[in-house]
Amino acid sequence: MFENHQLDVLPQHQQIVYKPLADKALLHAQLNWLLFYLPLTAILGAVCFFNQEFAVLAQTSLLIGLPIILVLSLAYNVVSMRLKGIAMREHDIAYRKGVIWQQVTILPFSRVQHTEIHRGPLERKLGLASLRLYSAGGMSADLNISGLSHDDCKNIRQYIQKYTEARQVSNNTSNQAGDSVLATDESLNG
């Protein structure tokens, strides 16, 4: 029988204890930024080499601006990785991220339709992976957690699959019990 009691005290999501991402997640984020900045720097260097007028105009701002932007980006990654966290609970998963705009996403396992584990070449080399969780009706992942160890991704995925299987068995058992009660009621009325 379904009951819906009023709550006098609301649960506090701030009480969730988050586990930090994998140790190499920061290295992965820093390498991704460097892989973006190196080609950008090479392109700007080539433009300056072939276009002397641009080089004269932009030389000072490029020599000062690019290193500052690079250092700020790398520092931002450090702060961002320290604030990210994941919490596995009995019936849901919580993921926290964000430096300026902080976001906490809590996804109940009962809503998860399927999971995916993604690993790029750099992630494979570092032993990392990204876990994507999809719920009903969405074309994109409802929760995308990058920076987890590959083993953690596999363990979370396996836990969710076992949770879903146990829930289906429980639903089938309760449906069969409900069907037998309904059949008994119909035989008494009929």
Residues 92, 185: one domain? yes
What's the confidence (pLDDT) of residue 5? Answer: 78
Residues 152, 89: one domain? yes
Task: Mark the ranges of the chain whose per-residue pLDDT is less than 70.
Answer: 1-2, 13-14, 138-139, 175-190
- The answer to whether residue 107 sits within a structural domain is yes
CATH number of the domain within which 163 lies: 2.30.29.30
Residues 107, 73: one domain? no
Whether residue 80 contacts residue 99, with contact meaning beta carbons closer than 8 Å, is answered with yes
Residues 143, 131: one domain? yes
What's the CA gap between 79 and 90, in Å, rounded?
29
- The answer to whether residue 132 sits within a structural domain is yes
- The answer to whether residue 102 sits within a structural domain is yes
CA dihedral 17, 23, 29, 32 (to 10 degrees): -150
What's the confidence (pLDDT) of residue 47? Answer: 87
What's the confidence (pLDDT) of residue 8? Answer: 80
What's the CA gap between 28 and 146, in Å, rounded?
10
Number of domains in the chain: 2
Residues 78, 100: one domain? no
| Residues spanned by the domain of 61 | 25-82
What's the CA gap between 92 and 138, in Å, rounded?
18
Q: At what angle do helices 52-83 and 25-50 cross, to 10 degrees?
A: 170
Burial environment of residue 95 by CB neighbours within 10 A (0 to 12, 13 to 18, 19 or more):
buried
Residues 170, 131: one domain? yes
Residues 100, 176: one domain? yes
Neighbouring C-beta atoms of residue 86, cutoff 10 Å: 21
Q: What is the pairing mode between strands 112-118 and 103-108?
A: unpaired
What's the confidence (pLDDT) of residue 77? Answer: 93
What's the confidence (pLDDT) of residue 137? Answer: 72
Helix (H, G, I), strand (E, B) or coil at 59: helix
What's the confidence (pLDDT) of residue 148? Answer: 96
The last residue of a domain, from among 60, 82, 104: 82
Lookup result for tokens 């995925």: 157
Residues 55, 149: one domain? no
Residues 164, 108: one domain? yes
Sheet hosting strand 85-88, strand order edge to edge: 85-88, 92-97, 103-108
- The answer to whether residue 162 sits within a structural domain is yes
